[in-house]
Chains A and B, each alone.
Chain A
Amino acid sequence: DGGITQSPKYLFRKEGQNVTLSCEQNLNHDAMYWYRQDPGQGLRLIYYSQIVNDFQKGDIAEGYSVSREKKESFPLTVTSAQKNPTAFYLCASSTPGLESTDTQYFGPGTRLTVL
Chain B
Amino acid sequence: QKEVEQDPGPLSVPEGAIVSLNCTYSNSAFQYFMWYRQYSRKGPELLMYTYSSGNKEDGRFTAQVDKSSKYISLFIRDSQPSDSATYLCAIQKSSGDKLTFGTGTRLAVRP
Within the complex, which residue of A41, A45, A103 is in contact with B49, where a contact is CB–CB below 8 Å? A103
* Chain B residues within 8 Å of chain A by Cβ, number: 23
For A97, what are the chain B residues with a Cβ–Cβ distance below 8 Å?
49
Q: Which of B6, B43, B44 has its CB near the most chain A CB atoms (within 10 A)?
A: B43
* Chain A residues within 8 Å of chain B by Cβ, number: 29
Question: Which residues of B are in contact with A by a Cβ distance under 8 Å?
Answer: 6, 8, 32, 34, 36, 41-46, 49, 51, 88, 92, 95-96, 98-99, 101-104
Measured CA separation A41–B32 after assembly (Å): 21
Nearest neighbor of B98 in chain A, beta-carbon distance:
A45
Nearest neighbor of A101 in chain B, beta-carbon distance:
B32
Measured CA separation A92–B101 after assembly (Å): 13
For A45, what are the chain B residues with a Cβ–Cβ distance below 8 Å?
98-99
Known contacts A90-B43, A90-B44, A106-B44: does B51 contact A100 (CB below 8 Å)? yes
